Amino acid sequence: DTAVSQTPKYLVTQMGNDKSIKCEQNLGHDTMYWYKQDSKKFLKIMFSYNNKELIINETVPNRFSPKSPDKAHLNLHINSLELGDSAVYFCASVIRDGGFNEQFFGPGTRLTVL
């Protein structure tokens, strides 16, 4: 159950603060993602990294900055938090072997901005 892990699980903070969420996968996968799930449960892709290189940036505000120190880690830093940033953030990873493969999701981080 710890194949993809995220910390923290819950994050409550004030508007204007800067916070980070960490993600680690021990599956040996090449590609990692960040998704945002809002209160209506809509899962929206934010970023994707392949072997530490950014490959997808889905018009996310530049207050969000992903960082991948190595292919097992993809962290998300958020500056100047806003109320609308409140959501559950899921990290996911997938192996890229030329085929289609299951995305493995982390347990999610529930961010609440007050």
Residues that bind other proteins (CB under 8 A): 31, 33, 35, 40-45, 48, 50, 55-56, 90, 96, 99-100, 102-103, 105-108
Residue among 1 and 14 whose Cβ is closer to other proteins:
1
Residue among 31 and 75 whose Cβ is closer to other proteins:
31
State the minimum distance, in angstroms, from the CB of residue 44 to other proteins: 7
3-state secondary structure of 11: strand
Name the percent of the chain in helix, strand, coil, to the closest 5.
5, 55, 40
Q: Is 6 exposed, middle or buried (0-12, 13-18, 19+ CB in 10 A)?
A: buried
Residue among 14 and 40 whose Cβ is closer to other proteins:
40
